[in-house]
Structure 1
């Protein structure tokens, strides 16, 4: 399947979404994208400045907490990329928490895709927080992290807090509900794809891109909260899955261009521990000073990543672990004190 399409990207001002919108525009597609607030000139301005935005970009106002608003952006499109996710709960809303808001909105977005009569495929950007290889009883890890893994929601994870716990539950339950919808008669001819992305590294049009990259590099930065998030991921996954922003965008477009594809796909090219990362930088950038020196305390875990499902479909990752870490270093040089 090739050619130029009319597509929808929800949550267009986010880190991955802004990069995806940019890539789609560069490839000549017509892009509908949503923002919570069209009066937020800082976010609107970034999107309007992208290549081909003047002719090929259409902005819509839509909020996860007002899911009916997404219908206008979806109408008339061929593919929908659902990236919008609530990070903070809107108190006073009809929803109890971000999980309920996310699940409700995502199911409604899927129904709008079916009702449109034009949308062929809904591609959801999932997170590795939903794919922990932790055993259900919390006694240890499975041998592989792959598409068969689902994060046990009955456990508490080291370095977690109320925000991370809510995010983990929201992303896990939303992905499960969407895949369940994709297998139901209600989905009719709509194909549903879930791309479970590792920790994303690399520059994006969105200024927040540096934060995600800094998590990867956090052992060398005086930012304890970022390092805490890295350790949370390491304890959740056994190691940390990594993916470059360019590969993330390419994987989304790859899933759009397939003649037929559905189901769950792990999207990550590297699986590294905190020790692996420290050893790389010690070898290639010995001038760096480690700010958080607990990597030696993390036990060696014999867990492997199997992301072959996407590769077997024909997708090729362009960035390996060394390239990702090198790009993280380049992006974070100004943050080193």
Structure 2
């Protein structure tokens, strides 16, 4: 129990990755202050209250990304903060209001609260591979990606990649603020996250697998990369527990083709047939190389994608979501 006697805050705690972070923290003995927009919304909180250790060491608190100061009561007295809350939609009507403002302003609001509170030793922000994969000149098939790769905001804006832009601007703003205010900041940059869900509803990344089960290859991609939610959550916690941890951490899986995915899913759903358009119509070819050496140095051993896919499907079936 590494977390005994330590108090940490997790923002956006009802989310997919955040729920797993809360689960691991409680199992490791931490006291967790979890912020949600509405603590009375049972759909968002019941799964957290059901976690082992929640009765003794979990406190739900109300906070909103856009209300400056609304996180101070949750963060005050904490040793560390995990900031996971950020909106996800690929089709916003108003990108500025729906994505960019909550992502950027929300991150700065959290960091401002952390800067005011002397107890906070480290802040871990959930960023994304979105902030890595979209440089000014698009990636070529054999390009190598590591923690020094950054997406270009003007490229994202030109191409109307609003979600990617929101994550990129939020991470940029976080690094600038942390530098100016001497905050020990770490960002986690996961790819498309799959694996069992704790919350009762579908989230964006697991929805991609639900689409496969329903016979759709939503992105019309030939290649995919997935990373397991349990690995992502553990990497967050290890980033807190490893004194030498610093900077950004890429967390992404190996390449899989649509056929590979169909083969694995067929073992569980025999009559499955996926629409394979067999073209990678993304602006980036998924065959670039990704270095995950840095996150492995935290002691993360990656769950095989086959296991993640199987566990995702079983979890969706158990929750009657497919």
Deviation at 1:45, TM superposition (A): 2.6
- RMSD over equivalenced CA pairs, Å: 3.3
Match of 1:131 in 2: 132
Could you list the per-position Cα deviations for residues 79-114 of structure 1 after superposition, in whole angstroms to 9, with x for gaps in the alignment?
10001113479999xx75531232122112112212
**Deviation string for 1:281-334 (max 9, x for gaps)?**
56x56934323121x3338864222111111x2322240222223323433557
Structure 1 residue 191 displacement after superposition:
1.1
Q: What is residue 304 of structure 1 aligned with on the other side?
A: 289
Q: 1:156/1:326 Cα in 2 relative to 1: closer, same or farther (>3 Å)?
A: same
- Per-residue deviation, 1:255: 0.5
- Match status 1:320 vs 2:321: no
Is there any run of 5+ residues in structure 1 with no aligned partner, and where? none
Query: Which 4+ residue blocks in structure 1 deviate beyond 6 angstroms?
Result: 88-92, 334-337
CA gap 1:327/1:41 in 2 versus in 1, 3 angstroms: closer
Following the alignment from structure 2 to structure 1, what is the Cα–Cα distance between the partners of residues 321 and 177? 46
Instruction: Tell me the distance in 2 between the aligned counterparts of 1:199 and 1:153.
Output: 20
5 Å-filtered alignment, 1:33-182, equals 33-87=34-88, 96-132=97-133, 134-138=134-138, 140-141=140-141, 143-155=143-155, 165-182=161-178
1:241–1:270: 8 Å Cα contact kept in structure 2?
yes
TM-score with structure 2 length normalisation? 0.84
> 1:293 aligned to 246, 252, 276, which one?
276
Describe the SS at the equivalent of 2:127: strand
Relative to its length, the structure with more helix (as a share) is 1
Q: Residue 196 of structure 2 corresponds to which residue in structure 1?
A: 203
Name which of 224, 236, 259 aligns with 1:240: 224
Structure 2 unpaired stretches of 5+ = none
Q: Deviations over 1:133-172 (max 9, x none)?
A: x552347456123222223444479xx9x7xx32221111
With normalisation by structure 1, the TM-score equals: 0.81
Confirm or deny that 1:192 pairs with 2:185. yes
- For this pair of structures, how many residues does the alignment match? 314
1:55-96 CA-to-partner distances (Å, cap 9, x unmatched) read 21111110112131011111000010001113479999xx75
